[in-house]
Homo-oligomer: A and B are copies of this chain.
């Protein structure tokens, strides 16, 4: 299969975004806009830029920066200089969207809060991400992804049944919040195209987590019990088999997930056939209710079969038999699976500092193609390009601003 990169990145052609965000929550949102064709200009501190860029030898954060800032432009502006602030305001006058996720009150102290900016551009969609919502007793507290995952209830339902709370490996407090904001921005933008109206959008990372754990609330509300941690099983444990069952090899991720849906009793019957346990077909002791009562026994029956298979073979056999199942894959197995590259889910970029780097792009396909990934910008890479096009400044004016340290040097 050829790598098929489509032209659907022009969906948001014409949308202009002033991106004052940093780390992950804000950048994951503006990157999604950039992938669909918005022009996203990241305003960065000339001294180091987004903290996510990390120090010079910090490869981990360098790669994270690449992951969350593809397809954007970078302009370095000194926000401690009044002329720097004016430059940003001039950009905002022509923009559709501003996104910020500074610590509480930081942007107001800079004079770039919603009151100021929505006054100079009544059609502006001003977006902010904070840890806790306006009106929450914690609204002035600092937060990062993991704080939101703790306070939003997600850690209380993640981990082994008898173990301590765990943090899901996904950064749902950051990227999960970022996606909800992206949806909201596009909704507001569609109305703006119709009416010219701007909007103030605010999302708290704690509140965003509540959106993603709605099943845990329904579990509690229907059972009367606090939603517990359930290991690899569904919230509250559910009806077995459901969970990660051990496979041949015995490695940390040699497991296959098997789920027999409440909505389709055939899954269990099919599984019994695969396991050579036709003797249990139709046995009412093993209907949905019975299996829930006999969890240990059911899990033992299933494990006896899974232990004889390697996880991929198990997945193939079960998948073929139309039983929902999947191998627990680790990051290396996924990175080495060329199919993700063939399908454009992961794409390789060339970076002047780090050479070739393969990263995840936007996973939704448009017309059978994925949106092309362009490498994240160097710090200040688009100073000239953007200030010329957006503000009609000429080369001399830009050089003068650089001489006065209002904007940063070109890389």
Contact = CB atoms under 8 A, between A and B. Distances in A.
A346 B210 contact: yes
Interface residues of A, number: 155
Contact of A156 (B183, B206, B243, B253): B253
Contact of A190 (B1, B60, B168, B189): B189
A330 B227 contact: yes
Contact of A218 (B67, B223, B246, B323): B67
A23 B160 CA distance: 26
A183 B182 contact: yes
A130 B46 CA distance: 44
A143 B326 contact: yes
A21 interface: no
Given A169-B158, A332-B220, A212 B64 contact: no
A55 to B, nearest CB: 9
B257 A155 contact: yes
A156 B331 contact: yes
A157 interface: yes
Contacts of A230: 167, 169
B12 A190 contact: yes
Contacts of A175: 211-212, 214
Nearest to A63: B218
Contacts of A199: 8, 366-367
B259 A146 contact: yes
28 contacts: A37-B187, A52-B263, A60-B222, A136-B339, A142-B325, A146-B232, A151-B315, A151-B329, A156-B169, A156-B329, A156-B330, A158-B167, A159-B166, A164-B244, A167-B230, A167-B233, A167-B234, A167-B244, A176-B179, A179-B179, A180-B364, A201-B365, A202-B368, A210-B334, A210-B346, A220-B332, A226-B330, A226-B332
